[in-house]
Amino acid sequence: MDRCQISYIRERKRINHFLQGRLHKFADYWNEADLKAFFILPIINLIDFYIDKKFRAFLEATIEAELRNVNNEMIKMRGRVAFLVTTGEQKPRNPFFYANEYKPQLKSQSDPKGQLLIARLTAQAKNKAYSLTIYGLYTHWAKLVFWHYTRQRICC
């Protein structure tokens, strides 16, 4: 490794240590906006999603698609996703990673797992590729819950 690579690795470790310390110190006091601004977004900004203009990250993106229900009727699914990585420069096209909103507790008014499931179904229908693996997460307090979906199987 050259000096630049070593410097880069040290800087990433320093940032990681800083963010972990911030999370441990303040997680019990942060609300949704605090968690996004002081922990999640700094991590997201460390990643270059704009590789060759093929991918893009979107905040508060709306995705929609049509699916068949158990009665073989078409239903329209539409939802707002807090964070989404997808193809498409101006609007989301083929999503493959998304993060749903922060939940301070599982017994809140909205259901993070249900929202994640709807986002997954919509992403699969939009991609027209039900065998494609799609990744997602939601936050519950200071815990990030990662899921991935492969061929109708949900894995945590």
Residue indicated by tokens 């093929």 = 54
Are 115 and 138 in contact by the 8 Å Cβ rule? The answer is yes
- pTM of the complete model: 0.63
- For the chain, the domains span 1-46, 49-155
Are 80 and 60 in contact by the 8 Å Cβ rule? The answer is yes
CA 90 to chain centre: 18
Query: In a structure prediction context, what are the per-residue pLDDT tens digits for the chain, which is 156 residues long?
Result: 778 888 888 888 888 889 888 888 887 788 778 888 888 888 888 887 777 777 888 888 888 888 887 888 888 888 788 888 888 888 888 887 877 765 555 455 566 677 777 777 777 777 776 666 777 777 665 566 666 666 555 555
| Euclidean distance between the first and the last CA atom of the chain, given in angstroms as a whole number | 35
Cα-Cα-Cα-Cα dihedral of 71, 74, 76, 82, to 10°? Answer: 70
Query: Whats the size of the chain, residue-wise?
Result: 156
